[in-house]
Amino acid sequence: MSFDPTRPDAGVRQFTVRADDDGVRVDRWFKRHLPQVGFATVSRWARTGQIRVDGKRVKPEDRLATGQTLRVPPGGDEAKGRAAPKRRALTPEEEAQAEAMLITRTRSALVLNKPPGLATQGGTKTSSHVDGLLDAYADEGEPRPRLVHRLDKDTSGVLLVARSPGSAAFYSKRFSGRSAKKVYWALVVGVPDVKQGTIDAPIAKQPGSGGEKMHVDVEGGQTARTLYRVVDKAGNSASWVELQPLTGRTHQLRVHMAAIGHPIVGDGKYGGPDAFLTGSISRKMHLHARRLVIEEPDGETLDVSADLPEHFAASMVQLGFDEHASDAEPDKGRPPLTKEDRKQVAKAHAKQYRKGRRGERKGRAEGGSRTGKAPVGVKDDRKAPATRAPAKGAGPRGGAKAGPKAGPAKPAARKPAAARPPAAKPRTGPRKPR
């Protein structure tokens, strides 16, 4: 049942606190659900005992709990004469586009499959975007759905939208707290040496790009970590990888894959000309948010997957990849490294190190003063067994050949102390008067 506080005959209202409002302050609850009632009115109602929770007086800063009954008096002077915000009328084409994107609807969320090329939010030169289509999902009397995270314009896949201010706050906490698990599929150029690992490389805005481009900045960047796994490969030309961001930096997956020498296919912004494959493979970016696992306000788990866009699916077929080879399962910890895994990790690290050294030598040969930052490396997040420290006094592995007269080692000869000036001869006899 809905209530109109502008009606003079509106009576006392009672609301049951939902799960997505658990722990919310009383004044914040009003801002979410009765925004026409200002803070001054809420404070006055609380001070005079007109607001009650389970029959008890409350203060604006008190917090609510799921299942409690909130009593709200009639009125709200600030609402008089204030018209409800008008919603933009959508064209039939926009209505159809919104309907085609919808994967599922729950009590608290809408889950969309965002197509590539459609921005999540608008900008100065962006008139078509997901945010502009959200009115299509709200019935009369319902709040307008709200974005709680975003995908890059050319990235496709799962996009969650909250259906109310309360659920928006709930989901935002799950994304910022990193309890939401996201798994992406990507086609990348080449084949990573380490087939399953972690990219740990800080990211910052690239100077001179106007904030439109990011880069790896070991010294001044924000922490950024990405798990990846090679699912399959097409010779040495391309690989299909699963990517799971452990942090949420701008363009993180694109920057990280380019930084280790395997840019995402079609990502010319970070991979340059090398990001495009020859033949009939699409030049569009091949990055897709395949799966999202997130907690719902009612305690249930929302687990949803999005189908690939047409160009991505066609490229998978052309490269011989089978979609069923991956279920996009979020990482749950890895088994210990095998001996072969450790060799691959060491080999990849050595390769990256040599690349960095070649860059330094080239800079010196050209007479430059380039100091160059350390190359981005890849490490496997599975623990390698600790190596045992050699016994005290032990030589190198395998030992050196013993001489013909092996015996106790002679102590090293001590170096003679530096010559000191002779000490002054002590003075004898009476002192001469000054």
Residues 182 and 147 in one domain: no
pLDDT tier at 326 (50, 70, 90 boundaries)? very high
In a domain, 431, yes or no: no
Q: Which has the minimum average pLDDT: 35-49, 50-64, 226-240, 363-377?
A: 363-377
Structurally, the chain folds into a number of domains equal to: 3
Assign 3-class secondary structure to the chain.
CCCCCCCCCCCCEEEECCHHHCCCEHHHHHHHHCCCCCHHHHHHHHHCCCCEECCEECCCCCECCCCCEEEECCCCHHHCCCCCCCCCCCCHHHHHHHHHHEEEECCCEEEEEECCCCECCCECCECCECHHHHHHHCCCCCCCCEECCCCCCCCEEEEEEECCHHHHHHHHHHHHCCCCEEEEEEEEECCCCCCEEEEECCEEECCCCCCCCEEECCCCCECCEEEEEEEEEECCCEEEEEEEECCCCCCHHHHHHHHCCCCECCCHHHHHHHHCCCCCCCCCCCEEEEEEEEECCCCCEEEEECCCCHHHHHHHHHCCCCHHHCCCCCCCCCCCCCHHHHHHHHHHHHHHHHHHHHHHHHHHHCCCCCCCCCCCCEECCCCCCCCCCCCCCCCCCCCCCCCCCCCCCCCCCCCCCCCCCCCCCCCCCCCCCC
Q: Please determine, for residue 6, whether its predicted confidence score (pLDDT) is greater than 90.
A: no
Residues 152 and 280 in one domain: no
In a domain, 353, yes or no: yes
Q: What is the CATH number of the domain that holds 65?
A: 3.10.290.10
> Which one of 44-53, 261-270, 323-332 scores highest in mean pLDDT?
261-270
In a domain, 87, yes or no: no
In this predicted model, what pLDDT tens digit does every residue of 152-167 receive, in sequence order?
999 999 999 999 888 9
Residues 72 and 115 in one domain: no
Compute the mean pLDDT over every residue in the chain, rounded to the nearest whole number.
81
Q: Please determine, for residue 132, whether its predicted confidence score (pLDDT) is greater than 90.
A: yes
Q: Please determine, for residue 208, whether its predicted confidence score (pLDDT) is greater than 50.
A: yes
pLDDT tier at 22 (50, 70, 90 boundaries)? confident
pLDDT tier at 79 (50, 70, 90 boundaries)? very low
In a domain, 61, yes or no: yes
Residues 28 and 109 in one domain: no
Residues 196 and 99 in one domain: no
- Catalytic residues, which ones? 152
Q: What is the CATH number of the domain that holds 137?
A: 3.30.2350.10
Residues 260 and 278 in one domain: yes
In this predicted model, what pLDDT tens digit does every residue of 343-357 receive, in sequence order?
665 666 566 556 555
Which structural domain range is residue 172 located in?
Answer: 93-177
This prediction has a pTM of 0.67
Tell which of 161, 177, 193 closes a domain: 177
- Confidence (pLDDT) at 200: 96
For residues 210-237, give the mean pLDDT: 94
- Confidence (pLDDT) at 89: 83
